[in-house]
Chain A
Amino acid sequence: AQTVTQSQPEMSVQEAETVTLSCTYDTSENNYYLFWYKQPPSRQMILVIRQEAYKQQNATENRFSVNFQKAAKSFSLKISDSQLGDTAMYFCAFTLTWDNFNKFYFGSGTKLNVKP
């Protein structure tokens, strides 16, 4: 079975500070892709960052970076210089490389509040 766990239901951070959202997952597969999506109050799910499991180098996307620890099955998201627009629900997810249907396995989400 494939599972994703986000242990922090809600977090707060001051504007301009750095925050890390945690995510652990469980799969017996070796080849997969990991994603972080954000869902602001506007409701649209927006891709934040993507990581290939076969790559050791951590993905970065501007102020967003991940700490991918494959052995520990951990995929945390670090947001630097937090902005008010980062306030959103953040979902961690993964897909299996061999999955012909590109099915996403989502975590339960972390609500991030960025305070001015």
Chain B
Amino acid sequence: DTEVTQTPKHLVMGMTNKKSLKCEQHMGHRAMYWYKQKAKKPPELMFVYSYEKLSINESVPSRFSPECPNSSLLNLHLHALQPEDSALYLCASSQDLGQGHQPQHFGDGTRLSIL
């Protein structure tokens, strides 16, 4: 069983739709991450949150809008996406930032398809 829960598991949306991806963890981790992963490629970092504040935005287009309502929840709001945004979106968490040895715990991902 995964300790990082992502919903929904699959999402199909049109380019004009607005949808949100949700990520939840109850391990007490204070750092949370969004990754985008294309088929047969490694995950690409999008955003990093630490203590509910955005720490890293890897030059992600504004049609992706992250939100961290509390230390257990991380959302990714989607609007006006493009077909090339179709990918697996992974959420991860780690105990804290500032210590590079900490592994990240990943969720199962949301498979997103843009029509």
Q: Which residues of A contact B (CB under 8 A)?
A: 32-33, 35, 37, 42-47, 50, 52, 89, 91, 93, 95-104, 106-109, 111
Chain A residues near B90 (CB, 8 Å)?
Answer: 43, 45
Q: Judging by beta carbons under 8 Å apart, are A101 and B97 in contact? A: yes
Q: Judging by beta carbons under 8 Å apart, are B43 and A33 in contact? A: no
Nearest-CB residue, chain B, relative to A104? B104
Q: Tell whether A45 pairs with B43 under 8 Å between CB atoms, given A95-B100, A100-B97, A102-B104.
A: yes
B53-71 interface mask toward A, CB cutoff 8 Å, 1 = contact, 0 = none?
0011000000000000000
Q: Judging by beta carbons under 8 Å apart, are A109 and B42 in contact? A: yes
Task: Report the separation of the CA atoms of residues A46 and B109 in the bound assembly, to the nearest whole angstrom.
Answer: 12
Number of chain B residues close to chain A: CB under 8 A: 29
Interface residue SS majority, chain B: loop
Q: Which residues of B contact A (CB under 8 A)?
A: 2, 31, 40-43, 45, 48, 50, 55-56, 88, 90, 92, 94, 97-109, 111
Q: Judging by beta carbons under 8 Å apart, are B106 and A33 in contact? A: no
Q: State how many angstroms separate the Cβ of B69 from the closest Cβ of chain A.
A: 21
Chain B residues near A33 (CB, 8 Å)?
Answer: 100-101
Q: Judging by beta carbons under 8 Å apart, are A97 and B101 in contact? A: yes
Given contacts A97-B99, A102-B98, 9 further A-B contacts (CB under 8 A): A35-B103, A43-B88, A44-B2, A97-B101, A102-B94, A103-B56, A106-B43, A108-B42, A109-B41
